[in-house]
Structure 1
Amino acid sequence: MQEPQRIHRDAGGYPAAAAETDPLLAHPPPPRSPAEIEDEEIEDEEIEAASAACCRICLESETEPGDELISPCMCKGTQQFVHRYCLDHWRSVKEGTAFSHCTTCKAQFHLRVECLEDNLCRKMMFRLFVARDVFLVFLAVQTVIAAIGGMAYLLDKDGQFRNSFSDGWEHILSNHPVPFYYCVGVVVFFVMVGFIGLIVQCSSFNTNDPCLAGCRNCCYGWGILDFPASIEACLALAVIFVIVFAILGVAYGFFAATVAVQRILQRHYHILTKRELTKEYVVEDLRGCYTPPKMDPEQEQRLRTLQLM
C-alpha cells in the first residue's frame, strides 16, 4: 500500500511548491488590523456618497457657481446634500423655525451674518407680486360674474326678461345684451354673497345666543317660513329680498376684499422679507462635520423676535 503524499507547507500555511512558483504566495500580504478595515469601509462609503450626491429638494445633482451642493446639518445619506438656492427658497416660504433649523433632523444651521444694503428691487418685486395677486382675485370674481350672466342669457334666449325693462331708464341696458346680462350677473353675485355671508354669520352664533333668536324672528317676520298668499306680495317680497341681500353682498364683498388684500400684503411682505434675510444670514457648508453652532446673542435675539428661530 502506498503512503499518502505529504504536502509540505511553509510558515504562512501555503504549499511550499506553490510558494516557490508564485511570488505573491511566497510573500503574502500582512494581515490588516480592524481599524484599517473600518477606515477603508468609511472611505468607500464617502466615495459612493459623493458620486451619488443630489439635492434632497429638487433631486438634481447638477450645480452652478453660487448654487453648489452643501451639507448644512446632521442629515446623512440621500438627505445630506441640498442646493443652496433650494435651501434658501425653502427657508423663505416655510413657516416656523425652518429659517434657522433643518426640518428633518432639527439641527440648527451655522449662519454667517452678512450686511446688505437696502435694495430697491425688493420693493418693486413686492408691488409686482401684490398687483398680480389682486388682479388674479379680480379676474376670478369677473369669471364668476360672467358665468352667471351667461347662464342668465341661456335661460332668457327669447329675450323676454330683457325686453321687460325696455320702458324705463333701463332701456339703455336692455338694448345691449352684453352689459344687461353682465349687470344681472353682478346683482346675482352680490345676492349670493350676501345670502352666504348671512348664513355663515347666523351659523356662527350659539344655539342659546339671543342674536340667533333675533335671526329666527327676522326670518319669520320677513315671511321666509310663512309665505303670503298673493302673487303680488310674493313678487314684492322677492324684490325686497334681492335688494337686501344685494346690499349685504356688497358689504360682505367689501369686507372680504379688504381681508384678502391685507392677507396678500402680509404674505408677500413676509416672504420677501425672509428671502432678503436668507441673503443676510447665509447657511454655511459643514461638509458632513456638524458641530453645535455659536451665534451672536444680538443676532439670535433678532431672529427670535422675528419668530424665525
Structure 2
Amino acid sequence: MLLESGQNSTTANSQSKQCRICLDDDNPNDIISPCLCSGGSAYIHRKCLNEWRSENAGGRGFKYCDVCKFEYIVESVSSDAKAERERLLKYYVFVIRDSTAIILLVQFVILVLAFLLKFMDRKSGNVKDLFPELIKGFMVYYLSAVILLLAIVGLITMIIFFCASLSRSSSTGNCNTNGMCSSVVAFIIVCALVGLIVGVVASVILLKKLMKHHASQLWLRQEAEKYIIKDFQDRRSELEQYKKKQNTDNTNET
C-alpha cells in the first residue's frame, strides 16, 4: 500500500507539471520552474521558453517573465563553433527561402498576365507584331507581361507622386494638354522604365529587411541557448531571496 501510494504521488506530481506554453506534460526532464509563478503557470519546457525568448521582438521577454515580471536567473554556457555555423546556415536558408517565395510570386503574376495577353491576342496578333521575328512563341507574351507589369508599377508610382504633388500645391493653373499626344506604346515604355527603377529599389529594401529580420531572430535564438535560465524546482525560497535582492538593487538605483 505504501509503495502504491508513493507511485501514485509521483505520478500525480509529474502530471501536475504541465508546460504553460504548449500545455503538454511530456518530456518531464525538460520542464523547469524558472520564476515565481505558481499553480498551472509554474512549469514550462526549457525548449518552449527558449523559443518564446527568441521570438520576443521587444527584448523584455528575453529576461523577464511576462506573468510575474520576475527577472530570470541566467547561466552562461560556453560558445559552440558548430552552433555558430548552424546559425549562419539557417540564416542563409531563411533568406533564400523568403527571396525565392517572393520571386515565385512575381513569376506567377507574370505568367497570369502572359496567358491573358495570349488569350486576348489570339485573333489579332497585334502583340506579336511589336517584337522582332527572332522572338517567337510564348516568349513574346512573357516579355510583354514583364513590360506590362513594370508599366503598371510605374503608372501607380507616378499617380501617387502626382497626387502628392497636387496636395502640396494650391495653384490652379491651366492644364497643358500637349503631352497627351504621345502614343500608347511610348507611354507604356516610360511607365515600364519607372516601374523598373521602383522595382529595383523596392527589391533592395525588401532584401535588406529580410536579412535584418532573420539575423535578429537567429541572434536571439542563439543567445537564448547560450544564456540558459536556471531551474528552481522545489527551491522557491531561493527565488524569493533573488526577488528581494532584485527589489533592493532597483531601490538603490532609483
**TM-score in same-fold range (> 0.5):** yes
Aligned to 1:120: 85
> Which residue among 103, 109, 114 is the counterpart of 2:66?
103
Task: Output the TM-score relative to the length of structure 1.
Answer: 0.65
Equivalents in 2 of 1:48, 1:239: separation in Å?
Answer: 78
Aligned to 2:217: 271
Change in 2 beyond 3 A, CA 1:246/1:163: closer
Segment of structure 1 superposing worse, 183-192 or 121-130: 121-130
Identify unmatched segments of 5+ residues in structure 1. 1-45, 296-309
Equivalents in 2 of 1:199, 1:77: separation in Å?
Answer: 59
| Counterpart contact for 1:49–1:77, Cα < 8 Å | no
Cα deviation 1:123-145 (Å, max 9, x = unaligned): 22222221111111111111111
Amino acid at match of 1:186: V
> Which residue among 187, 190, 215 is the counterpart of 2:147?
187
Aligned to 1:162: 127
| Counterpart contact for 1:111–1:281, Cα < 8 Å | yes
Equivalents in 1 of 2:27, 2:177: separation in Å?
Answer: 69
**2:224 is aligned with 1:260:** no
> How far did 1:106 drift?
2.4
> How far did 1:116 drift?
0.7
Equivalents in 2 of 1:69, 1:206: separation in Å?
Answer: 62
Amino acid at match of 2:132: E
**2:94 is aligned with 1:134:** no
> How far did 1:247 drift?
1.0
Identify unmatched segments of 5+ residues in structure 2. 1-9, 247-254
Equivalents in 1 of 2:166, 2:229: separation in Å?
Answer: 50
> Which residue among 10, 18, 42 is the counterpart of 1:54?
18
Secondary structure, in 3 states, of the residue corresponding to 2:228?
strand
Total equivalences in the alignment: 230
Equivalents in 1 of 2:163, 2:40: separation in Å?
Answer: 50
Aligned to 2:47: 85
Aligned to 1:251: 197
> How far did 1:49 drift?
6.7
Equivalents in 2 of 1:179, 1:71: separation in Å?
Answer: 63
Change in 2 beyond 3 A, CA 1:101/1:239: same
Secondary structure, in 3 states, of the residue corresponding to 2:190?
helix
Amino acid at match of 2:190: V
Equivalents in 2 of 1:204, 1:251: separation in Å?
Answer: 19
Aligned to 1:145: 110
| Counterpart contact for 2:128–2:140, Cα < 8 Å | no
Change in 2 beyond 3 A, CA 1:203/1:70: farther
Equivalents in 1 of 2:227, 2:44: separation in Å?
Answer: 17
Change in 2 beyond 3 A, CA 1:202/1:74: farther
Q: CA RMSD in A?
A: 3.1
> Which residue among 160, 171, 189 is the counterpart of 2:133?
171
Equivalents in 2 of 1:74, 1:61: separation in Å?
Answer: 20
Cα deviation 1:50-90 (Å, max 9, x = unaligned): 5233222222211175xx11122232333222211111111
Secondary structure, in 3 states, of the residue corresponding to 2:25?
coil
Change in 2 beyond 3 A, CA 1:163/1:261: closer
Equivalents in 2 of 1:87, 1:251: separation in Å?
Answer: 44
Change in 2 beyond 3 A, CA 1:203/1:85: farther
